[in-house]
């Protein structure tokens, strides 16, 4: 029971504050952008928090940097390892390089080329595996057993969740009195950190997760009242194919309002609208919050923050989803 209780621990708002100070030198304070056309279409004021303009092109640097910079000297000496389809991989590689330690990344064979190349460009060693969560976890476990590196999980890590929570903390400082925040939902690290930060804000905005209908394990898990795995989903939003873990499922159940879904066509349309009206290159996962809002029959609030999670897009992959 004690071990399980430990696994379900979540960081608090103070940990997010500490993470913000720890990572300040490695990250950018990203801008918030607006579009009158999108406001009119949605019938609400939309505030896009542009983590696509973050270093490494995604919010993942925040969590990876907090984890790497939290390591003791003895821990850091062994290097770090993880499994990731791309954004966490290159974020960890970047943070490890900044600290002067080695990074090893287990990456599925179908990971986007742009993310694979960026990860290698930051000096990480890439270990390829089959494109399933089971294969990723099994390959990482075997590598760490032989090498002794410290595992920095993409989302099932208190330090990572605290780092991701700095996105919402920053947004709420830039745009106070939001009614709601919508975060892309895959493994749940960003959603968890967002919900913790929002709960500590005076306005206490409602937090919603947004996930592809083709990768709706979080939505199904909420409905079942139990953690259900993602079953090798097929979605253009490759960053949201991962499953929740017990810790992030707890945050989803206790601290969020629920999960909004978007179809593949709606995700592509949201990408097009963001490119058209905000003139931003975003990856499919980053467009899911807008896609999910477009799918709602009515606005979920008057002032809504959308977390634009990343901009590492591989346009060559789109043809298969038309």
Burial of 55 per CB tally in 10 Å (0-12, 13-18, 19+): middle
Q: What is the pLDDT of residue 1?
A: 30
Q: Buried b / exposed e across 9-19, counting CB within 10 Å, b at 16+?
A: ebbebebbbbb
Alpha-carbon torsion, ordered 16, 86, 157, 129, to 10 deg: 180
* 148: alpha, beta or left? (left if phi > 0; alpha if psi -120 to 50): left
- For the whole model, what pTM was predicted? 0.92
Q: What pLDDT, in 10s, does the model give residues 214-256?
A: 999 999 999 999 999 887 789 999 889 888 999 999 999 999 9
Q: What is the pLDDT of residue 115?
A: 74
* CA dihedral sign of residues 202, 24, 165, 13: negative
Distance CA 241, CA 111 (A): 11
Distance CA 108, CA 131 (A): 5
Closest among 67, 128, 117 to 96, alpha carbons compared: 67
Q: What is the pLDDT of residue 262?
A: 98
Distance CA 225, CA 235 (A): 24
β-bridge pairing 206-212 and 180-184: parallel
Domains assigned to the chain: 8-58+157-321 (3.40.50.1100), 61-151 (3.40.50.1100)
Burial of 32 per CB tally in 10 Å (0-12, 13-18, 19+): middle
Residues, the chain, total? 322
Q: Which residues of the chain have pLDDT under 70?
A: 1-7, 314-322
Q: What is the DSSP string of 112-143?
A: -HHHHHHHHHTTPEEEEE-SSHHHHHHHHHHH
Q: What is the pLDDT of residue 132?
A: 81
Closest among 282, 228, 293 to 260, alpha carbons compared: 293
Q: What pLDDT, in 10s, does the model give residues 126-174?
A: 999 998 878 988 999 999 999 889 999 999 999 999 999 999 999 999 9
Sheet of strand 180-184, all strands in order from the earlier edge strand to the far edge: 32-33, 45-50, 303-308, 180-184, 206-212, 258-262
Q: How far is CA 260 from CA 197, 215, 256, in A?
A: 20, 12, 11
Closest among 288, 296, 146, 269 to 212, alpha carbons compared: 288
């Amino acid at each position: 029971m004690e071990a399980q209780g430990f696994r379900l621990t979540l960081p608090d708002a103070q940990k997010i504050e500490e993470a913000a100070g720890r990572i300040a030198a490695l990250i950018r304070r990203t801008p918030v952008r607006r579009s009158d056309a999108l406001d009119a279409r949605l019938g609400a004021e939309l505030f896009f928090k542009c983590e696509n303009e973050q270093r490494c092109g995604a919010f993942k640097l925040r969590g990876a940097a907090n984890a790497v910079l939290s390591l003791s000297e003895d821990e850091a000496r062994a290097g770090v390892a993880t499994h990731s389809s791309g954004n966490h991989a290159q974020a960890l590689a970047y943070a490890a390089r900044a600290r002067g330690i080695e990074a090893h990344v287990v990456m599925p064979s179908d990971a986007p080329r742009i993310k694979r190349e960026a990860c290698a460009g930051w000096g990480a060693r890439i270990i390829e595996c089959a494109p399933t969560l089971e294969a990723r976890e099994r390959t990482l476990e075997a590598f760490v057993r032989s090498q002794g590196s410290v595992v920095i999980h993409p989302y099932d890590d208190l330090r990572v969740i605290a780092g991701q929570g700095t996105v919402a903390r920053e947004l709420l400082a830039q745009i106070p009195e939001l009614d709601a925040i919508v975060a892309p939902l895959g493994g749940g690290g960003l959603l968890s950190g967002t919900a913790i930060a929002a709960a500590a804000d005076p306005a206490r905005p409602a937090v919603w997760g947004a996930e592809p209908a083709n990768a709706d394990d979080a939505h199904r898990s909420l409905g079942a009242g139990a953690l259900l795995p993602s079953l090798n989903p097929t979605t253009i939003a490759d960053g949201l194919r991962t499953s929740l873990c017990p810790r992030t499922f707890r945050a989803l159940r206790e601290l969020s309002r629920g999960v909004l879904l978007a179809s593949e066509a709606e995700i592509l349309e949201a990408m097009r609208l963001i490119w058209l009206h905000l003139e931003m290159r975003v990856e499919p996962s980053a467009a899911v919050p807008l896609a999910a809002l477009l799918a709602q029959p009515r606005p979920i609030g008057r002032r809504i923050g959308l977390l634009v999670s990343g901009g590492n897009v591989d346009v060559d992959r789109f043809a298969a989803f038309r």
